[in-house]
Each structure stands twice: as C-alpha cells, then as structure tokens.
Structure 1
Amino acid sequence: MNALNDNRDFFWTEKSAKEGDVSAQFNLATMYDDGVGVAHDRGQAVYWYSKAIEQGHTGAQDRMS
C-alpha cells in the first residue's frame, strides 16, 4: 500500500508542478532527489529545483547548494 501511495503522491505532485505550483515544484524535486515515489534522478531534481527557485522558493536554493 505504501508504494501505491507514493505513486499517487508522485502523480499529483507532478501534475501540480507542471501547472506552476511552486510548492509542488519543490516537492517534486525533492522526490527525485531522494528517490521517493520515483527513481532517483538528480537531473530532474535540479530541473524542478530551478523552476522553484525562479519563483523565489528559498528551500529549493538550499537544496541546490
């Protein structure tokens, strides 16, 4: 059941991130960075952290450094 919840969380987080939600962009980047609900992918993490940074998300800046 946990994997199902992770997949569901990933689906909705990705959808919101693509729609421009800054919190979702940060959360999606973190999911990619930590390999939660999706395979670890630093490139995708950096992409989504960058999108969040463009909107002023300071937590994303911290994770990028």
Structure 2
Amino acid sequence: MNGLSKLGKEGNLEAAAALGEFYFRQEHPLTYKLSFEWNEWAARRGDAGSQGRLATIYHEGLGVERNPQRAFAFWLLAAKQGHSGARAMSGKLRNGNFGAPGSHRSWLLDISELCRGKCGRQCGL
C-alpha cells in the first residue's frame, strides 16, 4: 500500500484511482474521507471509475454532504466514457425512474451542457 500511496502522491492517475477504489470498498466511515479525496482527484482528471465512485459518494453522502446534482454530473461524465454502472444510473435519471429530490430533469439538462468535456476541470465542477 505504501508504494501505491507514493505513486498516487506523485500524481499517478492509475494509482490514485486504485487508492480511491480501495478506500471506497472499505465501507467504513473512517475511510470515506480518503476515498473521497483520491476519487475526486482521479475523477477530475478523467478516470471513469473514479467518476462513478465519486457520484455514489455524493449521492449517498458518504463522508460528504449529500449532493444529488454533483452525483448526477459525475455519473454523466463516467457514462460518456462508457462506464456501464454510470450509464445505468444516468439512464434511470433520464427516464424519470430515479428518486432524486426536487425537479431533477431541469438541472439534468444544465449539467449535460456543462459536461461536454472529459474531466471535471473542463466542466467547471
């Protein structure tokens, strides 16, 4: 784990994504913060798996304040790259079969317009 951590801290995208997944799979409140940090870093640099995990973190409020808008934005980014789980979640949203609070269809269109790039930095997330 130390070697992976070192690579992640040096800016290795694959290592950061692997660390984000490792901490995410721990499913423990103490590791949610680490999971969020690594997944956010990798997601904003275009890693589809990290984008999907970050969406789940935001949607479920795992160590962060629940934010359905950010969740759906990251699901859309991951879906755009072919991430199957993210495609399923964004498809549910588009079909109105998702229990999101409030009127989600209007901000889905806004998010779609913002998310034309491949990473969060290009989308302004």
Over residues 24-50 of structure 1, what are the superposed CA-to-partner deviations in whole Å (9 max), with x where a residue is unaligned? 000000100111121110000010001
Residue in 2 that maps onto 1:52: 78
Verify: 1:25 aligned to 2:51, yes or no.
yes
Greater C-alpha Rg: 2
Which protein has greater RCO, CA pairs closer than 8 Å, 6+ apart? 1
Over residues 1-57 of structure 1, what are the superposed CA-to-partner deviations in whole Å (9 max), with x where a residue is unaligned? x54421111001100000111000000001001111211100000100010011011
Question: How far apart, CA to CA, are the structure 1 residues paired with 2:40 and 2:59?
Answer: 14
State which drifts further: 4-13 or 27-36. Answer: 4-13
Verify: 1:61 aligned to 2:87, yes or no.
yes
Verify: 1:42 aligned to 2:68, yes or no.
yes
2:43 counterpart SS class: helix
Question: How far apart, CA to CA, are the structure 1 residues paired with 2:37 and 2:74?
Answer: 15
Structure 2 stretches of 5 or more lacking a match? Answer: 1-27, 93-125
Question: How far apart, CA to CA, are the structure 2 residues paired with 1:53 and 1:38?
Answer: 22
Q: How many residues get paired?
A: 64
| 4+ runs deviating over 2 angstroms | none
Structural RMSD (CA): 1.2
Instruction: From the two aligned structures, give the one with the greater helix fraction.
Output: 1
